[in-house]
Amino acid sequence: MASDFAEFTNNYLDDLKKTLENLPIADISKLYSMVLKASKEGATVHFIGNGGSAATPSHSAGDWSKELGLKTISHTDNMSSFSAWANDEGYSQVFVGQLSTFAESGDLLIAYSGSGNSDNVINGVGYAREIGCTTVAITGDYNGMGGGKIVNLVDLAIVVPSTSMERIEDVQLVINHIIKEAVKSNRE
């Protein structure tokens, strides 16, 4: 049993290493530039996400506001607002509703979706674009879908090169940390 677990763990880590080695660094660099621009202009960075990818917005907003002094909002954190919008307008509108209150032209929206096909995230991106926000999706090749519908709706799509939802979600957090550390080092 222990050898089965060790083999499973090694396979998981090997797949994660392969995913990390094939990250689209040029696209991550573009996100870095967008975050620097938002920081210099005093724009707010809005984070949205669905399912397991709803935790990364919270982590990212916390990291970036504390470590970088950026104005950030994780629209996955306020359950009273989230559930009110879901109840009154439908789950597919939870981010549109919150963004309609807080987002302004010139802000940056970062959307996390492992599949790239979550209606609530796609609708949030659509609304953000309509009002003049720059939009980014951090998605994956879940089930070989190439990043899903969202890749054609954003200014920048970072597609994690993995069909595994777990690896995609692992790497979404890694990308958060890469950007945070790069922006922080740029200021030192």
In the predicted model, what is the mean pLDDT of the chain?
A: 96
Contact 47, 74 (CB under 8 A): yes
Res. 46: pLDDT tops 90: yes
pLDDT value of position 50: 94
pLDDT, one tens digit per residue, over 54-89 is: 999 999 999 999 999 999 999 999 999 999 999 999
Q: For residue 187, what pLDDT is reported?
A: 80
- Confidence class of residue 170 from pLDDT cuts 50, 70 and 90? very high
Q: What is the pLDDT of residue 3?
A: 80
Report, at the CATH architecture level, how domain 24-187 is classified: 3-Layer(aba) Sandwich (3.40)
Whether 22 shows a pLDDT value over 90: the answer reads: yes
pLDDT recorded at residue 143: 85
Q: Burial-class residue 151 by CB neighbours within 10 Å (0-12, 13-18, 19+).
A: middle
Going from the C-alpha of 96 to that of each of 17, 24, 70, 100, 126, the distances in angstroms are 36, 29, 22, 6, 8
pLDDT at 1 over 80: no
pTM score of the predicted model: 0.96
